[in-house]
């Protein structure tokens, strides 16, 4: 079992209706899709590695969600989970990804030359740019379900692969459990270090077991390309740099990711992929290309503007407090949170306050789930960017972070998450 719970075979001594979870106060995609009929049909099934329906849904059962923030509420324990429990996963995926049907085929295009624009974002406002994705290694179970030995094998394989990179991607691996204080402080200063998962969504799924065993961070010598090992996914690949040259960030991301994938293939361990789901990851929100791009932008006095809330709504952004003592409004990208969004239509999608939507701004890069974001920093922004981890967290005093979705449809133009180049807003009148 991936974590301590009551998912033992004694549950089969009880009727399905006696084991069915109480989801009456829940607001997540799992609770929306799960029915007593589906539970009865799937509760005695398990994947070849032993992952069960109750393991799939437990994180969503333990975390009802928020009335205005819909979480996904489930995880996969291995590649086979999406097939064995497809009666549950298919409607969740269709709901979460704007109508993506079980018969649809996913298109992945990571040719960076197809990206138009994005190399001239105004450096007076754009502090940093970042693109990330996740990848799972075929032949191993996923973080919610893997054993210690399996996790260590993933780390060993990843170190061997990453250490073979050359040129601009040559770098070093830092295991969390043997990291020196000096190395740890340097990674903190560089905004690379990821902390132990404290989110109930991650803890309930079993992803924090044995922490920090077999977890680590690899980055290149230039500190512009990094890989997290055994966090929420086997690998999290991130390209980032200061300034607004998103085109260069995306080029490095595509080239580096393709090099890593080729190394794993040659070692006999390709990434999990199929023509329907695209790249297979732990959370259904990350299926597809798994792409998320974001820029961190300084817009002085914007938070004081009387129409600030209206501006965010029209751009489909969500504000977040990041300064000391400020509550974080919303949840991190790694937790698979979203607000409901209508199915994609031709051209622009009607503005909605969506936290994570499934779209990249170029037509050929549209994944089942690409997520874009724009970070907005208040007038007290620090001179250097805040942490650029997937779990968005700023260090600006009274700063604001907003993440959101781009407009849907081809030809939207630029690389910011809502399809427009950032510009200053007028000061409050």
Burial class (CB in 10 A: 0-12, 13-18, 19+), 259: middle
Q: Give yes or no: residues 256 and 305 share one domain.
A: no
205 is in an annotated binding site: no
Q: Is 323 exposed, middle or buried (0-12, 13-18, 19+ CB in 10 A)?
A: middle
Domain membership of residue 413 (yes or no) is no
237: domain CATH number? Answer: 3.30.590.10
What is the reported pLDDT for 113? 87
User: Per the annotation, does 290 bind a ligand?
Assistant: no
Strands 126-135 and 371-377: unpaired
Element (H, E) at 257: helix 246-266
Instruction: For residue 332, say whether it is annotated as part of any ligand binding site.
Output: no
Residue 213 lies in a domain: yes
Q: Which domain holds residue 54?
A: 9-96
pLDDT of residue 95: 95
Do residue 259 and residue 312 come from a single domain?
no
Same domain, 229 and 251: yes
pLDDT in tens, 142-190: 999 999 999 999 999 999 999 999 999 999 999 999 988 888 888 877 7
Task: Give Cα separations from 373 to 81, 209, 355, 402 (angstroms).
Answer: 29, 30, 9, 7
* Domain count for the chain: 3
E strands, 306-426, where?
A: 317-321, 337-338, 371-377, 400-404
Separation between Cα atoms, residue 219 and residue 239, nearest integer Å: 10
pLDDT of residue 400: 33
Q: Are 221 and 166 in contact (CB under 8 A)?
A: no
123 is in an annotated binding site: no
- 176 and 47 in a single domain? The answer is no
DSSP label at 415? S
- CA 418 to each of CA 100, 301, 317, 371, 405: distance values in angstroms, whole numbers, following the listed order: 21, 20, 8, 11, 6
Predicted local distance difference test score (pLDDT) of residue 51: 96
Are residues 236 and 347 both part of a single domain? no
d(CA 276, CA 287): 10
Q: Is 158 annotated as a binding residue?
A: no
60 annotated to a ligand binding site: no
> Can you read off the two tokens belonging to residue 401?
């972070």
| Claim to verify: residue 220 and residue 366 sit in the same structural domain | no
Please indicate, yes or no, if residue 282 is contained in any of the structural domains.
yes
Q: Is 384 annotated as a binding residue?
A: no
Cα separation, 241 vs 58, in Å, equals 37
Q: Is 314 annotated as a binding residue?
A: no
Any known ligand binding at 139?
no
pLDDT at 7: 61
* Residues β-bridged to residue 274: 278
412 lies in some domain: no
Same domain, 266 and 171: yes
The reply to whether 279 falls in a domain is: yes
- pLDDT at 225 (0 to 100): 98
Q: 249 and 362: one domain?
A: no
Backbone dihedral angles phi then psi of residue 176, each to the nearest 5 degrees = -65, -40
DSSP-assigned states of every residue in 147-163 = -HHHHHHHHHHHHHHHT
Whether 276 has a binding-site annotation, put simply, is no
The residues, any chain, with a CB within 8 Å of residue 296's CB and separated by 6 or more, are 126, 127, 128, 129, 130, 374, 375, 377, 385, 386, 388
Q: Which of 245, 276, 291 is the last residue of a domain?
A: 291
Q: Is 401 annotated as a binding residue?
A: no
416 is a domain residue: no
Q: Indicate whether 117 and 259 sit together in one domain.
A: yes
Query: Does 234 count as an annotated binding residue?
Result: no
The verdict on whether residue 117 carries a ligand-binding annotation is no
CATH (domain of 19): 1.10.135.10
Strand order through the sheet with 225-229: 171-175, 216-220, 225-229, 235-242, 126-135, 292-298, 371-377
Check the annotation: does 422 bind a ligand. no
Neighbours of 156 (CB within 10 A): 12
| 322 within 8 A of 296, measured Cβ to Cβ | no
Residue 130, annotated as binding a ligand: yes
Residue 4 lies in a domain: no
* pLDDT by position in tens, the chain (length 429): 344 444 678 888 999 999 999 999 999 999 999 999 999 999 999 999 999 999 999 999 999 988 777 889 999 999 999 999 999 999 999 999 999 999 999 998 888 988 888 888 888 889 899 999 999 999 999 999 999 999 999 999 999 999 999 999 999 999 999 988 888 888 877 778 777 777 787 889 999 999 999 999 999 999 999 999 999 999 999 999 999 999 999 999 999 999 999 999 999 999 999 999 999 999 999 999 989 888 888 877 887 889 888 888 888 665 644 444 433 332 223 333 333 322 332 222 233 222 233 222 222 222 333 444 444 444 333 333 333 333 333 323 223 333 333 332 333 333 333 333 333 333 333
Q: Judge if 298 and 379 occupy the same domain.
A: yes
Claim to verify: residue 281 and residue 155 sit in the same structural domain: yes
- Considering the domain boundaries, does residue 171 fall inside one? yes
Q: Are residues 145 and 214 in the same domain?
A: yes
167 is in an annotated binding site: no
Quick one: pLDDT at residue 319? 61
Tokens of 227: 């890989």
Q: Are 234 and 228 in contact (CB under 8 A)?
A: no
pLDDT score of 90: 98
């Amino acid at each position: 079992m991936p974590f301590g719970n009551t998912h033992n075979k004694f549950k089969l001594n009880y009727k399905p209706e006696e084991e069915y979870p109480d989801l009456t106060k829940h607001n997540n995609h799992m609770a929306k899709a799960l029915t007593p009929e589906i539970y009865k049909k799937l509760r005695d099934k398990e994947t070849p590695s032993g992952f069960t329906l109750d393991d799939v849904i437990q994180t969503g059962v333990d975390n009802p969600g928020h009335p205005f923030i819909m979480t996904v509420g489930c995880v996969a324990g291995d590649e086979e989970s999406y097939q064995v429990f497809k009666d549950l996963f298919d409607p969740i995926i269709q709901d979460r990804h704007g109508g993506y049907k079980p018969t649809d085929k996913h298109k992945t295009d990571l040719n960076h030359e197809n990206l138009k624009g994005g190399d001239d974002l105004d450096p007076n406002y754009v502090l940093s740019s970042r693109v990330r994705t996740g990848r799972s290694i075929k032949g191993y179970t996923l973080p919610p379900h893997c054993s210690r030995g399996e996790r260590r094998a993933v780390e060993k394989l990843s170190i061997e692969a990453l250490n073979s990179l050359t040129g601009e991607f040559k770098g070093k691996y830092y295991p969390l459990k043997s990291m020196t204080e000096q190395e740890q402080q340097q990674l903190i200063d560089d905004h690379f270090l990821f902390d132990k998962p404290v989110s109930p969504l991650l803890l309930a799924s079993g992803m924090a077991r044995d922490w920090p065993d077999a977890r680590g961070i690899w980055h290149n010598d230039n500190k512009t390309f990094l890989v997290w090992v055994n966090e929420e996914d086997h690998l999290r690949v991130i390209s980032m740099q200061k300034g607004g040259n998103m085109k260069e960030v995306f080029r490095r991301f595509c080239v580096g990711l393709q090099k890593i994938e080729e190394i794993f293939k040659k070692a006999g361990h390709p990434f999990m992929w199929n023509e329907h789901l695209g790249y297979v990851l732990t959370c259904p929100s990350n299926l597809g290309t798994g792409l998320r791009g974001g820029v961190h932008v300084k817009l002085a006095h914007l938070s004081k503007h009387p129409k600030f809330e209206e501006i965010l709504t029209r751009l489909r952004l969500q504000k977040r407090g990041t300064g000391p003592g400020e509550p974080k409004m919303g949840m991190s990208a790694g937790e698979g949170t979203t607000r409901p969004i209508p199915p994609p239509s031709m051209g622009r999608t009607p503005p909605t306050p969506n936290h994570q939507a499934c779209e990249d701004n170029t037509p050929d890069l549209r994944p089942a789930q690409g997520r874009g974001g724009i970070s907005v920093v208040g007038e007290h922004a620090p001179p250097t960017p805040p942490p650029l981890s997937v779990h968005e967290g700023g260090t600006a005093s009274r700063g604001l972070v907003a993440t959101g979705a781009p407009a849907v449809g081809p030809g939207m133009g630029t690389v910011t998450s809502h399809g427009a180049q950032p510009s200053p807003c007028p000061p409050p009148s």
